[in-house]
Amino acid sequence: MSRSRERAFLIAAPLAIFPALAFLPVVTYLIAFPSIPHGRFVGFLLLPICALAGSLGLFRLALGAVEKPWGIFNILNVAALLVLLVIAAYTGIFLALMTLKL
């Protein structure tokens, strides 16, 4: 039981956090202000991949946070969800500031 929960956490956490971290640079440097040739095309290809991977990871983290019996992996899943909340907050703030500058 513990091995499967450990494996689920070790798959879900990076699957949710890495796309969330990649979202802001993809939007900023590839879509809004493309710095490489064909940057918008690459950005529009990466956005659905990030959204799909992030959604799957978020779903698995949420399921892992409420599984019974309670243990250390529930706490780790909740901690990863809190990290995602912070990432979403700063991404929203930077995107709002970016739209004000445009």
Cβ-in-10-Å burial (0-12, 13-18, 19+) of 26 comes to buried
Residue 5: which pLDDT band, with cuts at 50, 70 and 90? confident
**Is residue 42 scored above 80 in pLDDT?**
yes
Cβ-in-10-Å burial (0-12, 13-18, 19+) of 8 comes to middle
Helix axes 39-65, 72-101, angle to 10 degrees: 150
For 38: left if phi > 0, alpha if psi spans -120 to 50, otherwise beta; the answer is: left
**Is residue 102 scored above 80 in pLDDT?**
no
Domain residue ranges in the chain:
2-101
Question: What share of the chain has pLDDT > 90, as a percent?
Answer: 76
Predicted pLDDT of residue 55: 95
